[in-house]
Amino acid sequence: MINQKTRYFVITTLFIAIVFLQIFVPWLGLLPLGAFVVGASVTIIQFTVAISSIILGPKYGAIVGCWWGLLSFANAITHPGTIGSLMFQNPLTAIIPRVLIGLIVGYLFNKLLRNQSTAIRTVGLGVLGTTAALINTAGVVLLTTLGFTVMHTNFTGVPTHNILAWLISIVSFNALFEMIVGFILVSVIGSVLLPIAERANIIG
């Protein structure tokens, strides 16, 4: 009989493998919305982290988020030359927001939604998806601002003043769509997976 700890290890590894694929196979981790809104694209990896933390709990969600951060950092180091890669060459920017997604979303689910009715939980899952997108965007923007300011980053297209306002202007458009997509995806996928996880007794 597989014990609980082994189940958690196996499922956590599965989520990490999904994150790995989403990073290195672009169409698995990025949802292009060009057919609907020109220039919009949505990173959906944070929703994988959010769902892992909802099912497995904040500790294991943070582990999945940490792996996403480490893989983002490694990808940025090995594929330099863009502003995006420059941002994630700072390990704090790459890792901390992703760990926080797992911790915060998992904690909020356990605290507020675990014992709620199906209807309330479905809406709550959507809110947690939006929260995951917001944590990732806000964390990356704030830590990038801090990193660029401290390191006096000089890169084509990066202003030397008002870096925070510049970053917000860049990410705010996509961030709005990420929050909307997060609400839909986490609500739908979470509502399907949670009953299965509960029947299998693997809820964190």
Residue 36 lies in a domain: yes
Residue 112: predicted pLDDT: 94
Cα 90 to its chain centre, rounded Å, is 17
Residue 149 lies in a domain: yes
Residue 199: predicted pLDDT: 83
SS3 40: coil
Residue 204 lies in a domain: no
Q: Which residue range is the domain that position 158 belongs to? A: 4-199
Q: Residues near 100 by Cβ (< 8 Å), separated by ≥ 6?
A: 65, 135, 139
Q: Residues 36-84: pLDDT tens digits?
A: 444 456 889 999 999 999 999 999 999 999 999 999 999 889 887 777 7
Q: To the nearest 10°, the Cα dihedral for 185, 186, 192, 196? A: 150
Q: Tally the domains of the chain.
A: 1
Q: Using CA of residue 6, residue 9, residue 15, residue 20, what is the dihedral sign? A: negative
Q: What is the mean pLDDT of residues 8-30?
A: 90
Q: At what angle do helices 45-56 and 118-151 cross, to 10 degrees?
A: 130
Residue 131 lies in a domain: yes
Distance (Å) of CA 165 to CA 136, 145, 160, 162? 17, 9, 12, 6
Instruction: Give the pLDDT band (50/70/90) at residue 35.
Output: very low
Say which CATH number the domain at 68 has.
Answer: 1.10.1760.20
Please give the mean pLDDT across all residues of the chain.
87
Residue 7, Ramachandran bin (φ over 0: left; ψ between -120 and 50: alpha; else beta): alpha
Q: What is the mean pLDDT of residues 182-190?
A: 96
Q: For residues 13 and 116, give the distance between their C-alpha atoms in angstroms, rounded to a whole number.
A: 28
Residue from 163, 180, 190 nearest 40 by CA: 180
Q: What is the mean pLDDT of residues 125-136?
A: 97
Residue 32 lies in a domain: yes
SS3 84: helix
Q: For residues 121 and 88, give the distance between their C-alpha atoms in angstroms, rounded to a whole number.
A: 34
Residue 85 lies in a domain: yes
Q: What is the mean pLDDT of residues 151-179?
A: 76
pLDDT at 109 over 90: yes
Instruction: Give the pLDDT band (50/70/90) at residue 191.
Output: very high
Amino acid at position 91, single letter: P
